Structure 1
Amino acid sequence: MKAIKVAAVQAAPVFLDLNRSIDKAEQLITEAARNGAKIIAFPEAWLPGYPWFVWLSSPAEAMQFFAPYHHNSMDVNSEQMNRLQAIAQRNDIFINMGFSERENGTRYMSQAMISNEGDLLQVRRKLKPTFAERMVFGEGDGSDLEVVNTSIGRIGALNCWEHAQPLVRMAMHAQGEDIHVAAWPSFCLYRDMAYALGPEVNNSFSRTYAVEGSCYVLAPCATVSQEMFDIMAQTPEKAHLLNPRTSKPGGGYAMIYAPDGREMCEPLADDEEGILYADLDPVLIDMAKVAADPRGHYARPDVLRLVLSKEKRSVMSELNSAEEASIVRPFEVEE
C-alpha cells in the first residue's frame, strides 16, 4: 500500500434522478481530487438514493416509487457508468460508488470500483438486503466477494449490515485488505425505537472492522435531504419515522478509521454535506498486525476455517449443445 490521502462522502444525492445525481457526484469527485485525494468513497445506494419509502408506509403505498426508482437505477453497461469511468480518469482518482444496479427487472445493492485510469475493476452486490430492503433488491452471491489489488493498495468494500455478519467480514479479512469501504445509507431512521439502526452501533461496526481487519476503513454515510422529506414524508408521522429526533434532514455520520480504531478526521454535523479527508500511512497497518494479523499469526485454521463459494448464481444451466444426442435405433432383424 502507498501513503495516500483518501476521501469519504457525507451528502445526499438528487433523489430519484440518476443523471443529476451523477452531476453532483462529479462535483464531489472533482473537489476531492483537487484536494489531493486518490480515492473517494460514496454511501450505500447513493445512485439514485436509498429507498427509504419502503420503511415509511405499507407495500401498497410504496408501490408509487418502484417504477421511478427502477428507471433511475443504473445498468453496469450504460452511458452513466461510462460517464463515471470518464470522471475517474479525468480526475486521476479511484471511485467506489454505491448504486442501485439494474439488471433486467431486478435491482441489486451494488458497489462499483473504478480505477484512476477509468477501468471498471469490480462491481459487487450486497449478499443479503436487510429487512425491508428485500422488497426492492435481489440477493448477490459469492462470485464478487473479493478484494481488488490496485496501484494504491488492496481495496475491498461491503454495504451496511454486511458488517454485522462475522463470516462475511472474515471472507474479506482473509484476502488482506489495506483499505476497506464501509458504505452506509444514513443513521436517522426509527431512532426512537430501533437503537441498532443509529450511529452509535453502526459506526462501532466500522471501527471494529478496522481493528479486526488491521486495515483503514472509509465509512461514507449519506444525509437525508429536505428534498427526500418532501417526496417521501408527506405526513408528520412519516417525517417522525424518517428522523424521530427532529423530523428534519440529517442522519449523516461519515468517518474514516485507522487500523487501531482511532478516528482520523473531525466529523461533520449530521445535517451537513461535505467530504472527509485523511492521510493514510501504511506503517500503521504493519503495527496493527504485530498484535493481531487475522489471516496470519492470529488465525487458527487448524481449528476454524471459512468456506467461500465463488459460484455465480444462475437460473439456467446449459448442457453442451455441440455434442449430438445419442440416438437409440430400433432392433433390426436380419432376414
Structure 2
Amino acid sequence: MAIEHPRYRVAAVQAAPEFLNLEATVDKTIALIEEAARGGASLIAFPETWIPGYPWFAWLGAPIWGMKFIQPYHDNSMVIDSVQFERVAQAASRSNITVALGFSEKDAGSLYIAQAILSPEGKTIATRRKLKPTHVERAIFGEGDGSDLAVHDTNLGRIGALCCWEHLQPLTKYAMYAQNEQVHIAAWPSFSLYVDAAYALGPEVNNAASRLYAVEGQCFVVAPCATVSQKMIDMLCETPEQQALLKLGGGHAQIYGPDGRSLADPLPPDAEGLLYADIDLAAITLAKAAADPAGHYSRPDVTQLLLDRNPKPRVVYAKHGQSANGNSPGMRAVEHTEFEEGEQA
C-alpha cells in the first residue's frame, strides 16, 4: 500500500505591523489568518518580531537615542499565554489553520526574539527563541538555548522554524536538517536597512539564504517578510540621515521547494498581502535521494555535530536537604561526571 504524503497550501505574510501597538497588530494578525484560510491555506507564517514590529531604532542611532523606544517596545511585546496570545490561538482554531507567529516575547524583565507554532485546534505546538540575536539586537533581546532547535511532528508534516540570520549559521542549520525537517519557517524582518550602503543587508543575500536552506535541507521553506510603512518611518526617522538608512517597503517574501525552486510569484516590495503555494511533501523524497546531508551524504567518521538540546534555566532550585551544588549537606562534591552509553554532557 502506497504511503500518502500530505498536500496542502501554505501562505507567507508580507505586510507591515501596526508598529508599537500590540492590540492593533494582534487585530491585523487575526485578519491575515482569516484571509489565508479563505484562500485555502492550511498554514500561515508571519515575519520575525511581527508583533509589535522589528526594533529598527536599534540600527538608526546611538543606544542612548534609542532608549526612548525601549519602554513602549517592552509594553507592546507579547507574553506567552497572555490574553493577546490566546486571541491569536483562538483565531487559528476558528479558521482551522496552523499558524507560525513571530513576535517579541516578554518574559519578566527580558525580551526574546520568539516564534510560536499553533495548531488548527488553537493549541501551542511549540515556542522558541532565537539562539543569538544579531549585532545590535543584543542590546534589546536575550538568547535562546539548545531546546529552541527543534522540529515538531504535526498533521502537516515535520515543521521547524528559525529567524533571520540564524540561516547563516551552518551548525544551527545542520541541527535542524538532522531532525528530518520537512517544512521550514524562515522568518525575516523587512529588507529595508542600509540598502544603498557598502555592506548589503538586502534581498539578494537574505533570499539566497532561504533558498539555500531549502536545497541543503531538502525541505519546503516558507519565508515571510515584513514591510516598513510610512507611519513607521515617521515614528523612527528624525533626521535626513536616518531617513536615508531606512527605506519604505522592503518586502521580499518567498516560498521555495526542496530543489530551491521558487513556488510563488513575489509581490512588489512595497505591497502588502499573502503569497500562496501548493506543496506536496512527496517532492522531498527525490531531493533526499540526491543529497541528504544528515543521512547518506554525510561522513560522520570525519565531521560530527554535538547538539545539546537541554534547556538552560537561569535558576535551578535545590531540593530540600540539598546544598546549592546538588549534594546532601556534608557530602563532598564529585570531581567528574560519568555518563551512560549514548548520553551527552
The answer to whether the superposition gives a TM-score over 0.5 is: yes
Q: Residue 225 of structure 2 contacts residue 252 of structure 2 at CA under 8 Å; is this kept in 1?
A: yes
How far is 1:317 from its partner? Answer: 2.2
Question: Higher mean Cα deviation, 225-234 or 306-315?
Answer: 306-315
Calculate the TM-score normalised by the size of structure 2: 0.91
- Structure 1 residues 194, 109: CA separation in 2 closer, same or farther (over 3 Å shift)? farther
Report SS of the residue matched to 1:316: coil
Partners of 2:51 and 2:198 lie apart in 1 by 26
Aligned residue number for residue 283 of structure 2 = 284
Partners of 1:327 and 1:293 lie apart in 2 by 53
Aligned residue number for residue 17 of structure 1 = 21
Q: Which amino acid aligns with 2:41?
A: A
**Aligned positions, number:** 323
How far is 1:302 from its partner? Answer: 1.9
How far is 1:322 from its partner? Answer: 4.7
Whether 1:257 aligns to 2:277 is: no
Please identify the structure whose Cα radius of gyration is greater: 1
Whether 1:126 aligns to 2:126 is: no
Choose which of 186, 189, 193 in structure 2 pairs with 1:189.
193
Report SS of the residue matched to 1:9: strand
Whether 1:168 aligns to 2:172 is: yes
Partners of 1:33 and 1:234 lie apart in 2 by 39
Q: How does 1:111-260 map to 2 (within 5 A)?
A: 111-243=115-247, 249-260=248-259
Structure 2, unaligned stretches of length 5 or more? 332-345
Q: Residue 115 of structure 2 contacts residue 161 of structure 2 at CA under 8 Å; is this kept in 1?
A: yes
Question: Higher mean Cα deviation, 300-309 or 68-77?
Answer: 300-309
Partners of 2:330 and 2:142 lie apart in 1 by 42
- Structure 1 residues 4, 232: CA separation in 2 closer, same or farther (over 3 Å shift)? same
Partners of 2:18 and 2:26 lie apart in 1 by 9
Partners of 1:235 and 1:275 lie apart in 2 by 33
Partners of 1:164 and 1:327 lie apart in 2 by 49
Partners of 2:116 and 2:198 lie apart in 1 by 30
Report SS of the residue matched to 2:282: helix
How far is 1:7 from its partner? Answer: 0.2
Q: Which amino acid aligns with 2:55?
A: P
Partners of 2:134 and 2:33 lie apart in 1 by 29
* C-alpha RMSD of matched pairs (Å): 1.4
Structure 1, unaligned stretches of length 5 or more? 244-248, 329-335
Q: Which amino acid aligns with 2:307?
A: L
- Structure 1 residues 234, 284: CA separation in 2 closer, same or farther (over 3 Å shift)? same
Q: Which amino acid aligns with 1:182?
A: A
How far is 1:320 from its partner? Answer: 2.0
Q: Percent identity?
A: 55
Partners of 2:307 and 2:67 lie apart in 1 by 36
Partners of 1:314 and 1:326 lie apart in 2 by 23
Report SS of the residue matched to 2:194: coil
Partners of 1:227 and 1:240 lie apart in 2 by 15
Partners of 2:61 and 2:251 lie apart in 1 by 23
How big is each residue's C-alpha offset from its partner over 1:138-192, in whole Å with a ceiling of 9 and x where there is no partner?
Answer: 0110112100100110000000000000000000000011100000001120112
Report SS of the residue matched to 2:93: helix
Partners of 1:182 and 1:194 lie apart in 2 by 25
Q: Which amino acid aligns with 1:267?
A: P
Q: Residue 196 of structure 1 contacts residue 202 of structure 1 at CA under 8 Å; is this kept in 2?
A: no
Q: Residue 17 of structure 2 contacts residue 52 of structure 2 at CA under 8 Å; is this kept in 1?
A: yes
Partners of 1:194 and 1:96 lie apart in 2 by 33
